[in-house]
A and B are shown apart, each in its own frame.
Chain A
Amino acid sequence: MSSVQSNVGPATAIVPSRPVPLTFQELLFRLQSFWAARGCVLQQPYDVEVGAGTMAPETFLRVLGPKPYRVGYAQPSRRPADGRYGENPNRLFKHTQFQLILKPPPVNVQELYLESLTAIGIDLSRHDIKFEEDNWEWPAGGAWGVGWQVMLDGLEITQFTYFQQCGGLDLDPICAELTYGLERICAFLQDANSIYDIVWARDPETSVEVTYGDVRLEEEVQFSVYNFEFADVDKLWEHFNRYEAEAQSLLEQAGALLKAEHASVTDKQRFPLLATYELALKCSNLFNLLDARGAISVTERVGVIARIRTLAVGVARAYALQQIVA
């Protein structure tokens, strides 16, 4: 080791007394390797727009049924109404959640979580950490759980949930869902006053830094413009209705097929419920866009959420049934 270091030459000379905080990408690497070393599958972000990591099928559908599973993935999460044209240092249209599902949760899940904080460079002996009650709920998905917001020196850095129900179905076993807010944690580690100042990557040879702003600011601006100004409300409704109609039709077919006694197991297993779920996710994102455009009155809101719920809960129930058939 020492010979390798001495080869680096000048690099050793500039080692500061305190370790350099992780870059945004290093933060993700560390979390990924930490959890991979504890038996988690590392998945890629889901490639359909979602509002939160929970909505990706790796969580929403995998938590159903008895099969044990451990997975972690970074999920870009879109919340059109939260866009601020890149002008607010703390708010984003799209933020990144590192989402972790441990099904069933190990008995030392909290201790593992605290170890993961150490792994990303937080010296717990010099911080104040609290688990404060915070229950989580996604009504449109018929999903809820109890848990905590994890507070680090007064900052909420993780949502820790024991998932109890999904798609209106009781989970057995339950799972632990850990959602790390990556931008927030990174800004904290780097003591950055603005998310856009976060160092995303640092060239190990030249020490040239690429910031979060370099990578994402343009996207925040343009999507804020689209979401708030350009998105065509009529078209959005049209898309919504079409996706909904297709999802609805698939759900009806699934319902008939999964209940049919004469249908073959293969036909039941290959029925595209995963595709049906994507259509439901499309509706959810379109709803968020319509909301950002101010096109949904508060009166309508409840009704539209109920329509999305019908789809999401419908898929979850059919999927649970499909798993039993298999």
Chain B
Amino acid sequence: MAEFLLEIGLEEIPARMIAAAEAELGRRVTELLTRERLLDAAGTVTTCSTPRRLAVRVEGLALSQPDSQDQLTGPSWKIAFPNNVAGPAAIAFAKKAGVEVTALVKITNPKGEYVGATVERKGRATAELLAADLPKEVLSIYWAKNMYWRAGKPERSVRPVRWVVALLDSEIVPLEIAGIAAGNSSRGHRILHGASPVIISTPAAYLDALRAAFVDADVAARRHTIRKALDHVTRAIAETQGARWREDHELVETVVHLTEWPTVLYGTFEQEYLALPEEVVVTVMRDHQKYFAVEDKAGKLAPHFLTVLNTQVDEEGRAIIRHGNERVLRSRFKDAQFFWETDQRIPLTARVEMLKSVTFQKELGSYAWKTEGNLRVVKSLAAAVKAKGISFDEAALVTATELAKTDLTAELVKEFTELQGIIGGLYAKAQGLGETVAAAIYSQYTPASTDDAIPSTVEGQLLGLADRIQTITAMFGIGNAPTGSKDPFALRRAANAIIKILAESSLPLAIGDVVSSAGDATDAVRSFLAERLSFYLKDVRGFAYDVVSAVLAAGSDDVRDAIARAEALTAVRGSADFVAVSAAFKRIKNILKQAAEKGETPGGLTESVLVRQEERQLFAASASLAGQVASLRQQRNYTAALEAIATLRPAVDAFFEAVMVMAPEPELRAARLALIQSVLEGFSGVADFSEIVVS
């Protein structure tokens, strides 16, 4: 068994893309080796990466494919060997199979007698196979944004490929990627190691050789180093007792993929900048500088930051780098402070007028137009909620809606666009507009993703719903509905947020209420939201796709009700009785469909027409169960309703055992169709069981 190493050296890959590409490289190599029968049962494929390289190491690799025999089947024996003498067909087949005519044999299979040939295949040498097949796997790796670099544009990738290492044990595999011939020479850290090559003797020596050249290619090890160093350096901050760095998983991943040899340094900024809202301070540090925030024992922001370096320096170097980073941060804070102060000169209430000159969408109008639209929608939603006895501060809701977009005119938001809404909320609070107004403005864009929390107040929830349904309806109105993978106005995200708010709040609103609050409801908007509900149930809540189809077929307006039904259905779907009833419902649906195609319609359902005991029993059982199920549904006790429906099994089974629905007598046939239709309709209110896939 051999070991293999492939390292592709690139110019700095965007941090956000590395993890997925590394995984894809591992997957592609595994698939290739498995397909080509080169990987031992105990073989392993491991990957690593830095900003400048993707690498994959294979252990338990065969040095060549096993030889194999293929049995080929050719033309019919009679045709190929007329009178048992090889004819043209036999000669052609032998030639194609690469064997002598005399080596052809007669094989007999259930279809008859055929010509057979046994072909010996010599396994290819692994090195040769990898050289031929690996380059295209590497160049097929998906990148969100590609570039050309060589003249004549022979290939595209995320960044130029600059070197390739490919070793089978200690031998170089003669492959070429993007015009670069593989060798055994890698590169070390740009500064700490410099330009001299890093020779890799064997795949097993790879990580250590790189470590000696100040590159830690093991991603998990780098992550560990960074976390440890963050802890360690934070403890060294003497000025703040019990200092802790603020956990930020995403930022850790970013710096892991921005460094080959990470070390951590802390810096300090002037106390006065802590007067800025914490959101602004953290955003400046995190989004603009990739710094970690530091907090004191009580969780309050401390005037320090942690930066992850891609180098290791002496004491003087640390002082220089600290000074440089502090300088940059100070000027960014100064800007933020300046904007904050400038913005306060014009309160939000005086900015409403300014929205006329901020375009929302060029065919629709300005943000003043948008605000008027939102007001209409929010008032309609407020009325609907109030009618159902929910109390909230309606005046605050209206004020929040009027002012919600005014922060778009603020300098601070122009500088930190990711803080829109949040800045508005902070200004509203600072300008004495009240907690309720401020909180609603602050949280208007949440949830920003499916794992974000919804606004915590009724006012915030209603504003969030109104803003999004107004946008969706208006965009659909001018033909900007998402198509396929194209959703330039992020309407799917907006709709996902609507569903999430309806699902996770206690607002007494159904999808239909939200849609109609935005004016003339179009079916397109309605079905767009239904589709997002289906997405939510499947991808966010994790319900099986057939459960979701079944539940939504029985109603998709009330989001929380659909969730409850999906939960109940998931709970009972495994029981044998339920499976049988589902199968029967599917059968009923098919019979009714086929009957309808023949122009047969169910007649009136009178018990007296039914002749067999089994059908009378089904009639009786379903009639007695119908009331019970209806009342359980009324109480939203869906699990009990479904369990009750499952008790229908003996009657249903017996019915289909004994009764032929499509009886020759027209009257009987119509009655039987009516019976099964009533069963289907009577018990499909929780879910359409015919959608359930029975394995």
Contact = CB atoms under 8 A, between A and B. Distances in A.
Interface of A: 66, 88-90, 104-105, 107, 110-111, 114, 124-133, 135, 145-146, 148, 152-155, 162, 164, 170, 172-174, 188, 191, 193, 297-299, 301-302
A152 to B, nearest CB: 7
Interface of B: 11-12, 14-16, 51, 145-153, 159-160, 162, 190-192, 195, 258-259, 289, 291, 307, 309-311, 313-314, 316-317, 320-321, 323-325, 327-329, 331, 334-335, 338, 357-359, 362, 366
Given A154-B329, A191-B327, A299-B362, A130 B147 contact: no
Given A125-B313, A172-B153, A153 B324 contact: yes
B11 A131 contact: yes
Contact of A111 (B12, B159, B195, B313): B195
Contact of A173 (B151, B289, B309): B151
B148 A128 contact: no
A174 B311 contact: no
Contacts of B357: 297-298
Contacts of B321: 126-128, 153
B320 A131 contact: no
Most buried by A among B151, B192, B259: B151
B188 to A, nearest CB: 13
B324 A152 contact: yes
Contacts of B152: 172
Contact of B331 (A90, A162, A298, A302): A90
B310 A146 contact: no
A153 B320 contact: yes
Contacts of A126: 313-314, 316-317, 320-321
Nearest to A107: B162
Contacts of B335: 90
Contacts of B317: 125-127
Given A111-B195, A125-B191, A129-B311, A172 B151 contact: yes
Contacts of B314: 126
A131 B160 CA distance: 14
Contacts of A154: 289, 291, 307, 324-325, 328-329
A154 B359 CA distance: 34
A213 B357 CA distance: 36
B15 A153 contact: no
A265 B513 CA distance: 70
Given A172-B152, A302-B362, 11 more contacts: A90-B334, A104-B151, A114-B191, A125-B191, A126-B317, A127-B311, A128-B309, A153-B321, A154-B291, A164-B148, A301-B359
A155 B322 CA distance: 12
A146 B147 contact: yes
A187 B323 CA distance: 13
23 contacts: A66-B151, A88-B338, A89-B331, A90-B335, A105-B149, A110-B11, A114-B190, A125-B192, A126-B316, A126-B317, A127-B320, A128-B321, A129-B310, A130-B12, A132-B12, A132-B258, A135-B145, A153-B320, A154-B325, A170-B148, A172-B153, A297-B359, A302-B362
A107 B357 CA distance: 48
Nearest to B14: A133
Contact of B324 (A130, A146, A155, A301): A155
Nearest to A296: B357
A127 B324 contact: yes
A76 to B, nearest CB: 22
Nearest to A194: B331
B276 to A, nearest CB: 17
A132 B257 CA distance: 10
Contacts of B149: 105, 162, 174
A148 B51 CA distance: 12
A124 B15 CA distance: 22
Contacts of B313: 125-128
A162 B320 contact: no
Ranked 6 nearest A-B pairs via Cβ: A153-B324, A133-B14, A126-B317, A298-B359, A131-B12, A173-B151
Nearest to A88: B338
A301 B362 CA distance: 10
A128 B162 CA distance: 23
B612 to A, nearest CB: 74
A193 B324 CA distance: 11
